[in-house]
Structure 1
Amino acid sequence: MPLVWIARKYGYDVSRDRRITYVDFSPPLLEMANQEHWRIFYIGSRPEACVAGTEAVRVRYPGIKWEATNGYFDMTRTGAANQDLVRRIRKFAPDILMVGMGMPRQEQWIAENHADIEVGVILPCGAAIDYIAGAVPTPPRWAGRMGLEWLFRLFAEPRRLASRYLIEPWYVIGLLLRDRLKRVAAPK
């Protein structure tokens, strides 16, 4: 939601009308994967949430060929654990690779490893399995429509998300103010 506010401040015509999150599109995506018997490999979450989520997916979507591993491993690109994981993914040959290690870890891992993995779709998906496993409560859709999903998530996981939602935005606001001052001071 803050991105919508920032974009509006910079003169872009954006709205929440077309906003979509993983919570919105995961059920139809997983249902389609179930019907088409897709192969999905998931990386992420704490070990217990990964196991519970894997079990839940296999029960709800028995047509999906599902493989998963938790997000607690040495992500060093040339490290043994990472190389073993890349080999495991290649051997499984998924249609979709879901990476749910949270921002920015999941994006960093994808950027460093995507060239070594042959997969049609790589989906950074944050707390996807945590929601499916019931490890964290799924934000209600009304909260997302009102731009308050972040607040729901903050109350659900204050220790993990307090810095992201209460401290990091001030850094971004500082960058935006600096940019704005440069634009105002720039000769025309």
Structure 2
Amino acid sequence: MINTNTNKRIKLFNIDIDQLTMKETVERIGQWLLSDEIHNHYVVTPNVDHIVNLHSNVQFKQAYSGASLVVADGWPVVLTSKLLGRPLPEVVSGSDLVPALFDYFQHEKSRPLRVFLLGAMPGVAEKAASNIHDNWSQVQVVGLFSPDFGFEKSEQASLHICQLVSEAKADVVIFGVGAPKQELWSKQYAKQLNTKVILCVGATIDFLAGEKARAPMWVRKIGMEWLHRLMTEPKRLAKRYFVDAFIFPVLVFREWKEKF
């Protein structure tokens, strides 16, 4: 296992990103989860849309600064790091990280992994839980909850979620309500969840439930999963991708200009 006291990070787009492979990321999180200590770590996965929003959202950036791990979700971020001479080893997407973590515990027989699914539309987490139990016998879904729209603005609703997670005695929370909501909420309430790790991983619960289809592996390997998602969810993603396509190159140019 890797040494969790070693923190390899680069500065990119004015945030610190961990220089970790998928294997190293899983091992680090695995060590946290196998420990008897509760540190309420939360993990964030910056992609192009995050980078664009971090540029103008101060609270979002503050939430990132409080994260225990920041791993790059998307080939554009990794490619930019290499072009600027501060290379990240590979893409560590949230939707791949969660199954990889489950695989890790499938082979780690000392104890099962207790999971709380927080997010997705009503009924979706139940499907995800069923699929998880079918595929990973060492992973136990001990709780699930689909928050109402606007829950993050209600202290009462937020504390209710904290109570549900704490009572479930979950090791890890798979948190999927979209950015920046999930990161801002984790920054504010992580210490009240009484759990070891919170993974801010967007649509991962939908993928686990089979509600949304992942791109074929060859598409992911060539860094074109974003195009697959745009084609499958054009109404939701077209505007976001259009804005990102204009702003992200500007941010890359600024990074390049500062370096050279």
Q: TM-score, normalised by structure 2?
A: 0.60
Q: Which residue of 1 aligns with 2:113?
A: 38
Q: Deviation per CA, 1:122-168, whole angstroms, max 9, x where unpaired?
A: 11122111112111101222112101111111112112222332222
Q: What is the CA-CA distance between 1:96 and the residue it aligns to?
A: 0.7
SS at match of 1:137: coil
Q: What is the CA-CA distance between 1:54 and the residue it aligns to?
A: 2.6
Q: What is the CA-CA distance between 1:28 and the residue it aligns to?
A: 4.1
Checking the alignment, whether the CA contact within 8 Å between 1:58 and 1:66 is kept in structure 2 is no
**Alignment partner of 1:3 out of 66, 70, 77:** 77
Checking the alignment, whether the CA contact within 8 Å between 2:114 and 2:169 is kept in structure 1 is yes
Q: Do the aligned partners of residues 181 and 81 (structure 1) sit closer, same or farther apart at CA in structure 2, a change above 3 Å counting?
A: same
Checking the alignment, whether the CA contact within 8 Å between 1:99 and 1:124 is kept in structure 2 is yes
Name the stretch that deviates more: 165-174 or 121-130: 165-174
Between Structure 1 and Structure 2, how many residues are aligned? 181
Structure number with greater CO (CA < 8 Å, separation at least 6) is 2
Q: What is the CA-CA distance between 1:89 and the residue it aligns to?
A: 0.9
- Once residues 144 and 151 of structure 1 are traced to their aligned partners in structure 2, the CA distance between those partners, rounded to angstroms, is 10
**Alignment partner of 1:131 out of 193, 203, 207:** 207
Q: Which has the larger radius of gyration?
A: 1
The letter of the residue matching 1:19 is V
SS at match of 2:211: coil
Q: Which residue of 2 aligns with 1:55?
A: 130
The letter of the residue matching 1:7 is S
- Once residues 33 and 156 of structure 1 are traced to their aligned partners in structure 2, the CA distance between those partners, rounded to angstroms, is 32
Checking the alignment, whether the CA contact within 8 Å between 1:71 and 1:100 is kept in structure 2 is no
Q: Which residue of 1 aligns with 2:30?
A: none
The letter of the residue matching 1:10 is L
SS at match of 2:86: coil
SS at match of 2:118: strand
Is 2:236 aligned against 1:165?
Answer: no
Is 2:209 aligned against 1:150?
Answer: no
Unaligned runs of 5+ in 2: 1-74
Q: What is the CA-CA distance between 1:85 and the residue it aligns to?
A: 0.7
- Once residues 61 and 72 of structure 1 are traced to their aligned partners in structure 2, the CA distance between those partners, rounded to angstroms, is 29
SS at match of 2:152: coil
SS at match of 1:126: coil
Is 2:152 aligned against 1:75?
Answer: yes
Is 2:96 aligned against 1:21?
Answer: no
Q: What is the CA-CA distance between 1:41 and the residue it aligns to?
A: 0.8
Q: TM-score, normalised by structure 1?
A: 0.81
Give the number of the structure whose residues are more often helix, by fraction: 1
**Alignment partner of 1:89 out of 149, 158, 165:** 165
Unaligned runs of 5+ in 1: none
- Once residues 62 and 181 of structure 1 are traced to their aligned partners in structure 2, the CA distance between those partners, rounded to angstroms, is 51
% identity of equivalent residues = 25
Name the stretch that deviates more: 125-134 or 60-69: 60-69
Checking the alignment, whether the CA contact within 8 Å between 2:95 and 2:203 is kept in structure 1 is no
- Once residues 14 and 161 of structure 1 are traced to their aligned partners in structure 2, the CA distance between those partners, rounded to angstroms, is 26
Task: Note the aligned Cα RMSD (angstroms).
Answer: 2.6
Q: Do the aligned partners of residues 19 and 183 (structure 1) sit closer, same or farther apart at CA in structure 2, a change above 3 Å counting?
A: closer
SS at match of 2:123: helix
